[in-house]
Amino acid sequence: MPYYYRLPQPSYRAFYVLKRNFLVWRKLLGPALVLHFGEPIIYLFGLGLGLGHFVGDMGEVSYLAFLAAGVVASSALMTASMEGTYSVFTRMVPQQTYNAMLTTPINTDDIITGEFMWCATKATMSSIAILTVAFLMGAVESMMALIAIPIAFLCGLCFAGPAIIMASCSPSYDFFNYYFTLFVTPMFVLCGVFYPISVLPELMQSFVQVLPLTHAIALIRPLVLGQEVTQVVLHLGVILAYTLVGYYIAIAVVRKRLFI
């Protein structure tokens, strides 16, 4: 079997890549925190309170709480997608960060594994920020919401895959428009962040079942709202499947791009 398609073989050096990204992030803490806290505050105030005024309650919970739970999941999607496309491309092409790393014992598998962990770490930080804001607004109904934090990490891994694949196949930043318009935005709008998917036409409901964000929301929302989580194995299974397939393909395409 050609080297490119062999199973990923990352080493502990993946953590060096993670640490490097963390050190850069820490330097830009101001803008990072504005992004992490600013966006959810706008969503929760603007849509949660504004739109929520007309929507009223969603069964037993307020629209604000319903939305907050969805935004925890969608922010994992957004954060990991931005990091996996724009930031990974920046390090791969214009900044040549990976080429510098590759003159050391670090290899491509370490780099991509480190980037997956970093995407997931940022998704987690973002989910913590949103839960904090939601909690302060009284929109967190249960301490079970803390379990949403590791699930956000898993979602970050899941959404990192397709984003990194996109970054390593794109000739320039412009090509990310395909990814965001055809994959990220449809998930953001259709997978139940703003409304329960049960209100969609049946065909549409079947379609969104294929998308990982639907399952992320199905896990996270009941945890935040203090409701019972159902079909845990199915939801985790879909997210895990996306994660593993995405990871395998991402490693293969980055090897093809960097090890030539």
Residues that bind another protein (CB under 8 A): 3, 11, 13, 16, 19-20, 23-24, 27-28, 95-97, 99-107, 258-260
In this complex, which beta carbon is closest to another protein, that of residue 3 or of residue 54?
3
Shortest Cβ 97–another protein spacing (Å): 6
Which residues are within 8 A (CB) of 156 and not within 5 positions of it... i.e. 6 or more apart?
76, 79, 80, 119, 120, 121, 122, 123, 124
Shortest Cβ 8–another protein spacing (Å): 15
Return the amino acid letter for 82: M
Kindly report the backbone phi and psi dihedral angles of residue 88, in degrees, each rounded to the nearest multiple of 5, phi listed first. Answer: -65, -40
In this complex, which beta carbon is closest to another protein, that of residue 35 or of residue 225?
35
With left for phi above 0 and alpha for psi between -120 and 50, is residue 180 left, alpha or beta? alpha
In this complex, which beta carbon is closest to another protein, that of residue 49 or of residue 257?
257
In this complex, which beta carbon is closest to another protein, that of residue 19 or of residue 53?
19
Shortest Cβ 26–another protein spacing (Å): 10
Q: Which of 159, 137, 132 is nearest to 217 (CA)?
A: 159
Q: Which of 171, 177, 221, 159 is nearest to 195 (CA)?
A: 221
- Kindly write down the DSSP assignment for every residue of 159-220, as one continuous string: HHHHHHHHHHH-SSGGGHHHHIIIIIHHHHHHSSSSS-GGGS-HHHHHHHHTSHHHHHHHHH
In this complex, which beta carbon is closest to another protein, that of residue 96 or of residue 142?
96
Which token pair is 239? 């997210």
Shortest Cβ 169–another protein spacing (Å): 18
Which token pair is 235? 């939801």
In this complex, which beta carbon is closest to another protein, that of residue 41 or of residue 102?
102
Shortest Cβ 7–another protein spacing (Å): 16
Shortest Cβ 246–another protein spacing (Å): 24
